[in-house]
A and B are shown apart, each in its own frame.
Chain A
Amino acid sequence: EPEVTQTPSHQVTQMGQEVILRCVPISNHLYFYWYRQILGQKVEFLVSFYNNEISEKSEIFDDQFSVERPDGSNFTLKIRSTKLEDSAMYFCASSEAGWVNTQYFGPGTRLTVL
């Protein structure tokens, strides 16, 4: 069964460093999403992406965040200058055709900022 994959599974970085989290969505899916979950808290939406552009973003998704689909398979989340409060689990998801469709989640990347 097709699945969403994410790399790395765990990333440790120093405050102020740039990180890139990578996702490979399911191949025929057109909509892509990033979510985060701070330890012990609820899942929060970051950004959605369709047709090579951002379709929605939350208040969390400020100028230090960016997303890109550099090729036909990868979908990346970049955090330019990490802060301690960026430590969280980051989930990528994809869906075949927009929000009112089942989303398939990746296993997550745990980001630890020291």
Chain B
Amino acid sequence: KNEVEQSPQNLTAQEGEFITINCSYSVGISALHWLQQHPGGGIVSLFMLSSGKKKHGRLIATINIQEKHSSLHITASHPRDSAVYICAVLPTPGAGSYQLTFGKGTKLSVIP
């Protein structure tokens, strides 16, 4: 089973700072999801990627398949970015049960 590790567990930043959240996994994957969980509990999908880099607004997600590592970057952070950011991975087909395995999440607090 894939082990998904996120770092840091908690992150406090000043408004405007550049933020990086990391995700490592132990077994090869077919896709990786970055999700945002709001303080109220709701979950929003930010990115799904299987290679390279994706950008949406101030958010950038990268993945290095060889190193089994992905990063989520937030540029010009804002207090409304405060949330828990979750990494989830999907195994390659045939590599056991085809389901998402989630990390524990990184809690981000952005202070004005």
Contact = CB atoms under 8 A, between A and B. Distances in A.
Interface of A: 41-45, 48, 55-56, 58, 89, 91, 93, 99-105, 107-108, 110
A43 B99 contact: no
A59 to B, nearest CB: 9
Nearest to A108: B41
The DSSP consensus for interface residues of chain A is strand
B108 interface: no
B98 A56 contact: yes
Contacts of A105: 35, 42-45
B101 A99 contact: no
A91 B43 contact: yes
Interface in B1-60: 30-31, 33, 35, 40-45, 48, 50
A100 B98 contact: no
Contacts of A102: 45, 48
Given A42-B104, A105-B44, A58 B31 contact: no
Interface residues of B, number: 24
Contacts of A44: 102
Contacts of B98: 55-56, 99
A49 B100 CA distance: 14
Given A43-B43, A102-B48, A103-B45, A58 B102 contact: no
Nearest to B38: A107
Nearest to B40: A107
